[in-house]
Chain A
Amino acid sequence: MFSRMKTLLAGAAMVLVATNVQAAPIKIQWWHAMNGVLGTDVDKLAHDFNASQTKYEIDPVFKGTYPQILTGAIAAFRAHQQPAIIQVFEVGTATMMAAKGAVYPVYQLMKDTGQAFDPKSYLQAVTSYYSDANGNMLSMPFNSSTPVTYINKTLFKKAGLDPDKTPTTWPEVEADAKKLRAAGVACGFTTAWPSWVLVENFNALHNLPLGTLDNGFGGLATRLDFNNPLELRMWTDLAKWEKTKIYDYGGRADTAYAKFASGQCGMMMESSASRASVLASKIDFGMGPLPYWPDVKGAPLNSIIGGATLWVLKGVPKEQYKGVAAFFAYLSQPKVQAWWHQNTGYLPITTAAYDLSKSEGYYTKNPGADVAIKQMTRGTPTANSRGLRFGSFVQIRDIIEGNLEQVVAGKKTPKQGLDDAVTQGNALLAQFQQANQ
């Protein structure tokens, strides 16, 4: 706390100095949630930007987990001590968007500061999640990923399956999983981030809405309605498969990852950003897109993303905003983006960075690394696959996963579980609407 105040004071002092003497750079605080290797990568981004010019200095501060950053930033904002840039996970988007007096939309920032900015150079499937109904970019995509399918090639061979063929449809997943089980593998497939994979992306892939009013893009009056026949069929199958361990529920967040990494499950649906960890686990693995139901017309559409974006907060000293805009422009440069993408496994956010990685031969050298981006960019995003904009979504995810758990454990019928998830989630949406109107 005190050290932060000190840096803030130091920052303020520097700002004062900067107006008189040109030399001292303007300090800009950036709160992020990237620790470990990713934290080092973030530091390098900031360092390289700082070295590229002399006017501004980005100061990256690790602030804990995503929820901690959001809570911390809100507390700081209420105390008028907010940083200029905060990293917010995708499910916090609605909270940030609703806080009109607190956030400085990126498109507005770029316009106000006169920074050259071409929204069309960004990958639509990435930016659409973070744009308003008119397509204006509200936050800067930073680390984006999407769920894909991983297979354990060793176990596939053991079961007499073709290790170079990742199943692409649900019937294929079921058939492969059955063969894996018959060969003595403990579980066929598992899913990390159950709500993200089995509900959010599932509906997007099949061009079905998760909620009304274009998944919440159309306003706060949105309500969930994903208790559709296809989702019901999926949950019914999951409950059925759990009994014979064709499917094995592996817990919330990415705890299911352990089931795949320990060689218990032959397949896993998990974030594309986990590729690096799977690589490190020494498992001989293959990657493919998420499965879909082939009897659904128009499927599969593009998948939707997860990860986080950078939001700009209002109320910091004015001269910092030009620096923020310059930093965002720097981050969007093809070279910087391609480095970030190749180094971390997150998706590139501009077409140019994707093309650059292609021409550098990155994808031929790293098979599987382009599965996510191909899946993200296939077809044109519809209102159902553009993204989600629901308030209280962290808790709604909890509710969805809580009900899925009860269905898979046989405590609720799939219909009851789905209906309950929708009803309970809608109660939170109603409260969010009231609080933010």
Chain B
Amino acid sequence: MIAKRVTFKRTGLPLALLAPQLAVTGIFFLWPTFVALKQSLYRSDAFGLRQVFTGLENYRALLFHGNYLATLERSGFFAGCVTVLSLAVGLVLAVMADSLGRSGRIWQALLVWPYALAPAVAGVLWAYMFDPAIGPITHALAHIGIDWNHVLNSGEAMTLIVMAAAMKQVAYNFLFYLAALQAIPKSLMEAAALDAAGPVRRLFSLIIPLIAPTTLFLLVVDLTYAFFDTFGLIDSTTYGGPGNSTTIMVYQVYKDGFIDQRFGPAAAQSMILLLLVGALTMVQFTLVERRIDY
């Protein structure tokens, strides 16, 4: 058994080794968080010339007035769709690539590519392909009688950003699933096959339960991604429209804070986001880390 902890005799060296990391965390994470927390308790004009302490007023206004609750709901829906879609597609592709054996390598390489695409670039590409005026896919859809216009149709706008967001995450999920599948002992699968379990039966009764820890891990990662890393995608495709139908939480922060210079409400929203990401991280630490046995 390998000792889990390396212990130092004195505290000087470990502190010195930790110092750079602590400094980075303090300057780039804790300090801004503190500033945002403070800002969220004030009402101020754009230039910060007049600051009035208002306590929790910014939070109250968010939760009891206006459309922030709708934004929360929308973000949940979006994140849910992206997660389910990218997990399902990632798993199916992984199972298929895994069954190909050595010849599956080329597919593996190809499928990982989308992950290397920056969200903004992916957004521009999707926006172009589906552009109501000049998009090639829009033209193709028109031939089969679908009048695609995500500029006006909120359902189509949501579909577009869900697809675009999931696309990137499919590659990530695929990688992890493939690794998980390859870790399943061949003998287990062969035994099941001998017991006359078909591929579908094997997938549901054997593979899915066995890779559950991976699924749980990916669930958290995908949710975090959908909630927080999709800003660039939305800003390059729908700008949160039509109406507010694709304005999710991060985009609302940007609109209120950076477009409208309403720093108080924007700071309050970022605090709510912070709580959310904190909760997701807790889930990851308590559930996922405990269950996965390395």
Inter-chain CA distance A220–B242, complex, in Å, is 29
Q: Give B223-245 interface residues, CB cut-off 8 Å to A.
A: 239-244
Contact B151 A251 (CB under 8 A): yes
Which chain B residues lie closer than 8 Å to A401 at the CB level? 241
Q: Which of B46, B241, B244 contacts A95 (CB 8 A)?
A: B46
Task: Determine whether B49 belongs to the interface, using a CB cutoff of 8 Å to chain A.
Answer: yes
With A394-B259, A402-B241, A435-B262: A262-B133 Cβ-Cβ less than 8 Å: yes
Task: Determine whether A436 belongs to the interface, using a CB cutoff of 8 Å to chain B.
Answer: yes
With A95-B261, A255-B151, A262-B133: A402-B43 Cβ-Cβ less than 8 Å: no
Task: Determine whether A392 belongs to the interface, using a CB cutoff of 8 Å to chain B.
Answer: yes
* A-contact 0/1 string along B147-191, CB 8 Å cutoff: 000011110000000000000000000000000000000000000
Contact B259 A78 (CB under 8 A): no
Contact A71 B261 (CB under 8 A): yes
Which chain A residues lie closer than 8 Å to B131 at the CB level? 258
- Closest beta carbon of chain B to A270's beta carbon, Å: 14
Contact B243 A406 (CB under 8 A): yes
Q: Which of A102, A394, A405 contacts B243 (CB 8 A)?
A: A405
Task: Determine whether A395 belongs to the interface, using a CB cutoff of 8 Å to chain B.
Answer: yes
Inter-chain CA distance A99–B66, complex, in Å, is 26
Task: Count B interface residues, CB 8 Å.
Answer: 34
- Closest beta carbon of chain A to B257's beta carbon, Å: 8
Which chain B residues lie closer than 8 Å to A250 at the CB level? 132-133, 151
Q: Which residue of B lies closest to A245 (CB)?
A: B147
Contact A258 B153 (CB under 8 A): no
Inter-chain CA distance A67–B256, complex, in Å, is 12
Q: Give A51-82 interface residues, CB cut-off 8 Å to B.
A: 67, 70-71, 74, 77-78
Which chain B residues lie closer than 8 Å to A411 at the CB level? 154, 243
Contact B151 A403 (CB under 8 A): no
- Closest beta carbon of chain B to A426's beta carbon, Å: 12
Task: Determine whether A419 belongs to the interface, using a CB cutoff of 8 Å to chain B.
Answer: no
Task: Determine whether A398 belongs to the interface, using a CB cutoff of 8 Å to chain B.
Answer: yes
Contact A249 B152 (CB under 8 A): yes
Q: Which of A71, A264, A403 has the most CB of B within 10 A?
A: A71
Q: Which residue of B lies closest to A395 (CB)?
A: B260
- Closest beta carbon of chain B to A199's beta carbon, Å: 16
Inter-chain CA distance A287–B49, complex, in Å, is 45
Q: What is the size category of the interface that chain A forms with chain B?
A: 35 or more
Inter-chain CA distance A431–B8, complex, in Å, is 56
Contact B262 A392 (CB under 8 A): yes
Q: Is the interface of A mostly helix, strand, loop or mixed?
A: helix
Contact B65 A427 (CB under 8 A): yes
Task: Determine whether B44 belongs to the interface, using a CB cutoff of 8 Å to chain A.
Answer: yes
Inter-chain CA distance A101–B264, complex, in Å, is 20
Contact B258 A67 (CB under 8 A): yes
Which chain B residues lie closer than 8 Å to A264 at the CB level? 133
With A67-B258, A95-B261, A392-B262: A427-B242 Cβ-Cβ less than 8 Å: no
Contact B46 A258 (CB under 8 A): no
With A395-B260, A408-B152, A427-B65: A99-B46 Cβ-Cβ less than 8 Å: yes
Which chain B residues lie closer than 8 Å to A435 at the CB level? 43-45, 50, 262, 264
Which chain B residues lie closer than 8 Å to A78 at the CB level? 47-48
Task: Determine whether A9 belongs to the interface, using a CB cutoff of 8 Å to chain B.
Answer: no
Contact A427 B152 (CB under 8 A): no
Task: Determine whether B255 belongs to the interface, using a CB cutoff of 8 Å to chain A.
Answer: yes
- Closest beta carbon of chain B to A224's beta carbon, Å: 16
Task: Determine whether A22 belongs to the interface, using a CB cutoff of 8 Å to chain B.
Answer: no
Inter-chain CA distance A249–B65, complex, in Å, is 30
- Closest beta carbon of chain B to A31's beta carbon, Å: 15
Q: Which of B43, B153, B240, B258 has the most CB of A within 10 A?
A: B258
Q: Which of B49, B66, B133, B242 contacts A409 (CB 8 A)?
A: B242
* B-contact 0/1 string along A308-324, CB 8 Å cutoff: 00000000000000000
- Closest beta carbon of chain A to B241's beta carbon, Å: 6
Task: Determine whether A259 belongs to the interface, using a CB cutoff of 8 Å to chain B.
Answer: yes
Q: Which of B43, B255, B261 has the most CB of A within 10 A?
A: B261
Task: Determine whether B106 belongs to the interface, using a CB cutoff of 8 Å to chain A.
Answer: no
Contact A252 B43 (CB under 8 A): no
Task: Determine whether B109 belongs to the interface, using a CB cutoff of 8 Å to chain A.
Answer: no
With A402-B243, A408-B152: A395-B259 Cβ-Cβ less than 8 Å: yes
- Closest beta carbon of chain B to A39's beta carbon, Å: 21
Which chain A residues lie closer than 8 Å to B244 at the CB level? 402
B residues apposed to A, CB below 8 Å: 43-50, 65-67, 131-134, 151-154, 239-244, 255-256, 258-262, 264-265
A residues apposed to B, CB below 8 Å: 67, 70-71, 74, 77-78, 95, 98-102, 249-253, 255, 258-259, 262, 264, 392, 394-395, 398, 401-403, 405-406, 408-409, 411, 424, 427-428, 431, 434-436
Write 26 A-B pairs (CB below 8 A) sorted by A numbering: A74-B47, A74-B261, A98-B45, A102-B49, A250-B151, A252-B241, A262-B133, A262-B134, A264-B133, A392-B262, A394-B259, A395-B255, A395-B256, A395-B260, A398-B240, A402-B242, A402-B243, A402-B244, A405-B243, A409-B152, A427-B66, A428-B260, A435-B43, A435-B44, A435-B45, A435-B262
Known pairs A101-B49, A250-B151; list 17 more (Cβ under 8 Å). Answer: A70-B46, A77-B48, A102-B49, A249-B151, A252-B241, A255-B151, A395-B260, A398-B240, A402-B243, A405-B151, A405-B242, A406-B243, A408-B152, A409-B152, A409-B242, A427-B65, A428-B260
